[in-house]
Amino acid sequence: MEIIIAGSPRKGMYSDRLAEAYAEATGGELIHARSLTAGPCRGCNWCKDKGNGSCVQKDDMAQVLEKARKADGIAFFSPIYWWQVTAQEKIVIDRLYPMTAEDWKGKKLTVVVNGAAEDDDREFALLKAQFQEMADYIGAELHFLGVGTTDDEAFSKAMNKLKDFISESN
C-alpha cells in the first residue's frame, strides 16, 4: 500500500481533490501535511547517529515514518508555490531523512504537482528533474505528473490526466 502526502494548505481545493481521487483509485492512505504537528528538520543527524532511525523531535512524524517504512510507495501531492512544493509538503519530505537505503528499497515514488500555469509550462519539467534526482538517490522509480489548475475547466482536464496517469503507473 502507498501513503499519500497531501501538501496543500487549502482544504478541499484542487490539490486535495487530486490526492483524494488518487487515494480512492489506489486504496492508499491519505495524510494531510497541514494536519500534522511536525517541525522542520533540524539537520542534527541524530536519526543517523544516536537515534538509530528515529527523530529527535517527538511529534506526528514518528507515525508517518513508521507508515512510510512499511509502504510500497510514497506519493507526494502538492500545489506549486514559487516553483517548488509547499512548505508543509517540504517539511514531511525533509523529515523522511531518517529512512535508510534499506527502508527505501523497492519503493515507488509518485509526485503530482499542480499550479496556476499552463500544462506546458517549463516549471513542470523543472520539478520533474528535481524529483528525478531524489528518486535516483533513493533508488526509487519515479512517476511524475504536473498539471495546470488555473480554473475549474483546467481542473477537470487535470482530473482526466490523473485518471490516465493512475492507469499507466499502477
Ligand X SMILES: Cc1cc2nc3c(=O)[nH]c(=O)nc-3n(C[C@H](O)[C@H](O)[C@H](O)COP(=O)(O)O)c2cc1C
112 or 140: whose CB is closer to ligand X?
Answer: 112
65 binds ligand X (CB under 6 A): no
Residue 121 contacts residue 148 (beta carbons within 8 Å): yes
Residues numbered 130 to 149 that lie near ligand X (CB under 6 A) are 149
11 or 50: whose CB is closer to ligand X?
Answer: 11
Contacts of 73 (CB under 8 A, 6+ apart): 2, 3, 28, 107, 108, 109, 110, 140
Residue 29 contacts residue 35 (beta carbons within 8 Å): no
Binding mask 80-109 for ligand X (x = CB under 6 A): xxxx--------------------------
Query: Which window, 5-13, 22-30, 100-108, 160-168, contacts ligand X (CB under 6 A)?
Result: 5-13
Contacts of 60 (CB under 8 A, 6+ apart): 36, 37, 38
* CA–CA separation, 108 and 143 (whole Å): 8
35 binds ligand X (CB under 6 A): no
Q: How far is the CB of 71 from ligand X (least distance, A)?
A: 23
Residue 27 contacts residue 17 (beta carbons within 8 Å): no
57 or 88: whose CB is closer to ligand X?
Answer: 88
Q: How far is the CB of 127 from ligand X (least distance, A)?
A: 10
* CA–CA separation, 36 and 46 (whole Å): 21
14 binds ligand X (CB under 6 A): yes
Q: Which residues bind ligand X (CB under 6 A)?
A: 8, 10, 13-16, 79-83, 114-117, 123, 149
